Amino acid sequence: MKSKRHLKIMKYIQQEEISTQQELAARLREDGIAVTQATVSRDIKELGLIKVPTKDKGYKYALPPEREHSDLQGRMERMFKDSVVDFDHSENLIVINTLPGTANGVASLIDNADWEGVLSTLAGDDTILIIVKPKEMVEEILEKLHQLTI
């Protein structure tokens, strides 16, 4: 649940201007995630969020530049170990099966990893489709996925 909540928080602060812990908690609750102010405060600390200026002279939460990419591998490893059940491929398509409700989070991490050869991901509730181009990159991507699960 924590990984899912962290992914939601990162998505919110990248797509919206969230200025306070209360706004962040309210946004999580809108998506059906029950949180307390203390939980949100811990999440902010664990994610290393910072406040950056906005155009209207206010402030909003953001990921620190050095953490955006450096911690992605660690988040991917944790999420894969917690959520991925199996994966297989055919031609240039890779299918990943996850626990229910976690496919979007895993797919988002794959998208943010910006792996060469990943043309696109498509996520349902518990299944992710990765489209690979060129087809010759499939084995390399499968190896990366395997490394995340061990």
In CATH, what number is assigned to the domain containing residue 63? 1.10.10.10
Instruction: Show the domain range for 14.
Output: 2-69
**What is the C-alpha to C-alpha distance for residues 50 and 60, in angstroms, rounded to an integer?**
8
**Both 58 and 82 in a single domain?**
no
pLDDT 10s digit of each residue in the chain, 150 long? 677 888 889 889 999 999 999 999 999 999 999 999 999 998 888 788 889 998 888 899 998 775 445 567 788 888 899 899 999 999 999 999 999 988 988 988 898 788 899 999 999 989 999 999 999 999 999 999 999 988
**Both 59 and 28 in a single domain?**
yes
**Both 77 and 145 in a single domain?**
yes
**Both 138 and 84 in a single domain?**
yes
Number of C-beta neighbours around residue 100 at 10 A = 11
As for how many domains the chain has, the answer is 2
Can you tell me whether residue 124 is helix, strand or coil? Answer: coil
